[in-house]
Structure 1
Amino acid sequence: MKKQFNRMKQLANQTVGRLIERRMELVRVVSHNTHKKMVSCLQGHIGAEAEKRHKKLPLTALSQAMVEGGTQLGEDSSIGKMMEVCGEVENRLATELMQHELQMEKEVLDPISQLAEVEIPNILKQRKQLAKLVLDYDSARARTSSLQTCTVSSPKKATTPTTSSR
């Protein structure tokens, strides 16, 4: 009866283990896909230094074109002044966008990536190792228990000294 109970317990643990692994894999895939979609929304290049990222933003190129266009029209032209001011504003917007993307990368994208690529695989690996160790522990405990019952049920026979009579 006890063996059947232990076998049913083991089957239940395996079933729950498979469900947990499926859920963890689902979380990993969702985290990975979310990271990819969020990276695709960024205008700068992920992982690049701030200056390089700032130079590659479309707003930066547009702001430089506006400033150059305003300079070509001349300082006396109101359109030229307006283009220079617009170029400076766009440059500030590009700086704000770059800072926002850097902060978002640090606070959101890096943790999601860490979760999907490092944490979840480690959890699954350690979980498998734990299950193996628990099985080893249970079998060692069962062997110890069976050895103890064997020694209790058949204790050594006591020998009494015999006296010989002549």
Structure 2
Amino acid sequence: MTPDIIDSEQCAELLRCTPDQVEELARAGEIPGLKLGRGWIFMYADLLLFLAEKAREEALQRRMKRQPHAPLPMVKPRRQTPPALPALPTEARRSTSPTSEKPAASTASTPHTRTTAERPAIHQGSLYVPAAEAARMLSMGKSTFWREVKNKNLPAPVKLGGLTRWRVADLQRCVDQAR
């Protein structure tokens, strides 16, 4: 036989199977071949093309099993920028009395923590407030506030980017209804 034409045994070596399996595949039309008399002959170039096509099909099937709904070219979705929060009103700084013995430089560098009574009301002039301020507006603790939100007894929060905020108008309605 010429090098372009091979028999069942040579084809079995190429496909790494037995000659009987090669003949079964040829009978079923799985591989390109021609029956001459009692045996089969195959074109070497046709078998190489068949193997290359089969390898591409199986690779695509494996890829689709791994990622069934993913598009073939992976496109990263663009992140949308969240809406800007309204600006909080600036509070007037407390002026030090002229009789104060501390120099001005030392008071500026000392950290100052406010008590609950000294905290400014954030909700004045703003549209959205965080959970701690919303709980304070409703005169309840943070744990109770979150429990009531979960039980849907309070208005649902608004997600602004990675922040969770409540509308002041919605909270004010809750306060008015409670009175």
- Give the TM-score normalised by the residue count of structure 2: 0.27
- Name the structure with the higher helix share: 1
Looking at CA atoms only, which structure, 1 or 2, has the larger radius of gyration? 2
Higher share in strand: 2
